[in-house]
Structure 1
Amino acid sequence: MTVKHLLVDFDKPNERGSFSPGDILSGRVTVVTSKETKVQCFLVKAKGKAKVAWCEQGQATRVHSNKKKYFNFEHIILQDKNKGDGSEIISAGRNVYPFTFVIPNVDMPSSYQGKWGKIEYSLRTKLTQSIWLVNKTKTEFPFLTKSEFPFASKSDMIIMGLKEQHYATRISYYGSEKVTLNVTSEKMGTKQGEAMAVSVEVLNDSALTVTPKFYLCEKQTFAAQAKRIVHANDTLFATGDSVPAETRQTVTKILSIPPQLPPTFFNCSMMKLEYRLKVTLDVPLARNPEIKLPLVILLGSPKPHQQKPKRSIWFRKLPS
């Protein structure tokens, strides 16, 4: 193989290091060869797509899948004049070829990796020397929707209530005794990396000692071929002080949202991401009462993007 190295990379567009609709995506393809190399075709593509897939077990295993393309652009760097004769030449050594694409200025979801689905934006190169020899490489670039609220089309009431307090009450009976749980969250919407206060009032009119616990609940929903599947995950935020029997106590916790947590979104037809704040009471030898409050996670402040190391994928295309 005369092609020793093939790499595609892109210019950082802003402080955050991510692209959005309408941005210009510029970069370069670098190829290193040991000697003059004839090629049939050499091109670079920019792609945006979403895809979901999962298996449904039963008498027969069924695969449910779907995909959607947001854009697919192609820039031909070199192509021989007569198809298949390999008349184009790449000089020996290091060769750099610039390219530029304009990302469509339409609503598209942010990059995302879920349990059974992915929203991916990537650059791919393909260098064809012959039907037997094809070199490829790929790199993903981060993409962020332009919408400040990527769920606005679903519910205007959500946006109006982002800064309002939310509260709920749950009364549980254990024989003739009862425990009352009142939960109040400072607000419904919070940004990545921010903190929010959650207060729990426990009226323990029982002979049991109870302990409040705080959870972040994540819900991923995927859709394909008129079917849906949900992946739920609960992460323990914190544990409050125990409330002894026949006492009343209020516990306030400051909960910090992890900065790397993906924001809430609904603007993809095949998947969505939602969150809830769950507060439970750990009751010995009894069913634990719980309260769930809505939680919308918004995009946080820009941070410098650390680009992943590029990798080249090499293979020979074998005849069919």
Structure 2
Amino acid sequence: MHHFSRVRDFVVELDQARGPGAVYWGGEVLSGQVVLDVAKGLKVRALAVCARGLATAHWLESKNIGMNTVYSDYTAFETYLRRRQHLIRDNGDITVLQAGRHEFPFTFQLPETLATSFEGKHGSIRYWIKAKLHRPWASAKRAKKEFTVIEPIDINTPALLAPQAGAKEKLARAWYCNRGLVSVSAKIDRKGYTPGEVIPIFAEIDNCTTRTVVPKAAIIQTQTFIARGTKKQKKSVVASIVGDSIAAGKREVWHGRALKIPPVGPSILQCRVIHVEYALKVCIDIPGTSKLFLELPLVIGTIPLHPFGSRTSSISSQYSVNIDWLRLGIPEQPEAPPDYSSVASSEGCIEALAPPCQDVPSNALEGSFFAYIQEFRFRPPPLYSEVDPNPPSESNSRPRCMTC
């Protein structure tokens, strides 16, 4: 206790210029200092600081064997960062620190590839700086400081800018009787989005049954934990919308119905023990039979869309965003996510659904009209064609004056 009373404060501080909510990424230099406030002269044998980054997956599974319950432990690790630096080297001599505040700066070069920080039900990806003070004839004293890492995912790539489309149909049955066919086709403008963006959903739902059906759309997050060749998954609904009921024999068209992405964490695709994936799922609730599901893949990125192709902004400015998602879990919804085993087989992809024409009534657009225009104002013009895709009808065609 005598030795502990001599140390008034022992903490790890990161670069103050970065601010309290600083975010780091691969390849960057991480700097800071170990602060040691001493009340009286303190003998020190060594002072070391280490930087660690670790992905961990862990869960238990139970199995009943007779009257006993046997538990199987599933654990896996992947190390992203393991660096060490000696601030006071242990060379056999004793260093005496006088009373007062002492600062020991350190610097670490982060590896180029680091996975995004993550906290999940069966695993985590964490980064931290840990300092260890060794004194003669006393137990070591430790200080720890966690920091946040984001893996850059630029959605301005051909793969993430490609439109996503699909179609599904399902035969509604009740008491072995055919109640008709329900079909859905849907398209989204691209695969990659960032939190806070609005996904315009273009869809056509044909209800050829004798029942009223209800269309829904949701963003599904799937956390996959991998250990010992076994996977453990957790699915959550992070955002959803409900469409209008579709009467029997009617068709419903979504002209860019808006679904906003909440502040969720980005996709994690390259980690060997933890994956975080997203999908847009369109669901048709059919009374008396199982639901019809259509799933389109999504990637939640960290570098937003550059409409003009400008890349002048620095990478660091791309990370000046709200990262509360790192500490906040996704709220559980009252209704469990859909069962993926009930997804119907696809007959093939549909042709791209065009944006609504100018004669679409204003109430057909979901959300703000200006937000809709902003989303599509930077689309490229249609491909040139010698053939008019919309030729005038014979009744409306009139001869043109050639004297002008």
TM-score of the alignment, normalized to the shorter chain, above 0.5: yes
Instruction: Give 1:222's aligned residue.
Output: 225
**Contact (CA 8 Å) 1:50, 1:120: kept in 2 or not?**
yes
Q: Alignment partner for residue 110 of structure 1, among 93, 104, 116?
A: 116
Paired with 2:118 and 2:17, the residues of 1 have a C-alpha distance of 19
Picking from 81, 103, 108, the partner of 1:96 is: 103
Give the Cα–Cα distance (whole angstroms) in 1 for the partners of residues 11 and 117 of structure 2: 22
| Shift in Å, 1:14 | 6.6
2:28 is aligned with 1:23: yes
Letter in 2 for 1:50: A
Q: Is the 8 A contact 2:116 2:149 kept in 1?
A: yes
- Picking from 197, 201, 213, the partner of 1:198 is 201
Tell me whether 1:47 sits opposite 2:47 in the alignment.
no
Aligned position for 1:304 = 320
Pairwise mapping of residues 187-266 of structure 1 onto structure 2 (< 5 A)? 187-251=190-254, 252-258=256-262, 260-266=263-269
Per the alignment, residue 81 of structure 2 pairs with 71
User: 2:107, 2:140 → 1: CA distance?
Assistant: 23
CA gap of 1:12–1:220, structure 2 versus 1, over 3 A, is farther
The answer on 1:125 being equivalent to 2:128 is no
Give 1:170's aligned residue. 169
Q: Partner residue of 1:6?
A: 10
**Post-superposition shift, 1:286?**
3.2
Deviations 1:264-314 (A, max 9, x none): 232112222211111112233432221111111111452436899xxxxxx
AA aligned opposite 1:164: P
* Offset from partner CA, 1:86-131 (integer Å, 9 cap, x none): x2222222221111111233x3322222222222221111122345
Q: Is the 8 A contact 1:209 1:243 kept in 2?
A: yes
Distance in 2 of aligned mates of 1:249 and 1:24: 54
CA 1:4–1:206 in structure 2 vs 1: closer, same or farther (change >3 Å)? same
**8 Å CA contact retained: 1:41, 1:78:** yes
* Structure 2: gaps spanning 5 or more residues: 65-69, 305-317, 325-404
1:159-216 alpha-carbon deviations (Å, 9 max, x no partner): 5363224122223323332322222222222222221111232222233222111111
Q: Which range is displaced more, 245-254 or 52-61?
A: 245-254
Structure 1 residues 293 and 104, CA, compared in 2 at 3 Å: closer, same or farther? closer
Whole-Å separation in 2 of the counterparts to 1:81 and 1:307: 43
The answer as to whether partners of 1:213 and 1:236 remain within 8 angstroms in 2 is no
Q: Is 1:138 matched up with 2:149?
A: no
Distance change in 2, residues 1:146/1:211 (3 Å) = closer
SS of 1:254 mapped into structure 2: strand
Aligned counterparts of 2:108 and 2:292: Cα–Cα separation in 1: 54
Give the letter aligned to residue 160 of structure 1.
Answer: A
TM-score normalised by structure 1 residue count = 0.82
Contact 1:193 1:300 in 2 (8 A): no
**Structure 1 residues 255 and 28 mapped into 2: Cα distance closer, same or farther (>3 Å)?**
same
With over 3 angstroms needed to count, the CA separation of the structure-2 counterparts of 1:275 and 1:305, relative to structure 1, is closer
Q: Which has the higher contact order (CA 8 A, sep 6+)?
A: 1
Report the count of equivalent residues.
295
TM-score (norm 2): 0.66
- Which structure has the highest helix share of the two? 2
- What RMSD, in angstroms, separates the aligned Cα atoms of the two structures? 2.7
1:5–1:14 distance in 2 versus 1, CA, 3 Å: closer
- CA distance, structure 1, for counterparts of residue 119 and residue 267 of structure 2: 13
Question: Which residue pairs with 2:348 in the alignment?
Answer: none
Q: Which is greater in Rg? A: 2
CA pair 205-131 structure 1, distance change in 2 beyond 3 A: farther
1:172 partner letter = L
Task: Supply the distance in 2 between the matched residues of 1:71 and 1:165 (Cα, whole angstroms).
Answer: 36
**Which of 280, 299, 304 is equivalent to 1:277?**
280
- Report if aligned partners of 1:80, 1:88 keep a CA contact under 8 Å in 2: no
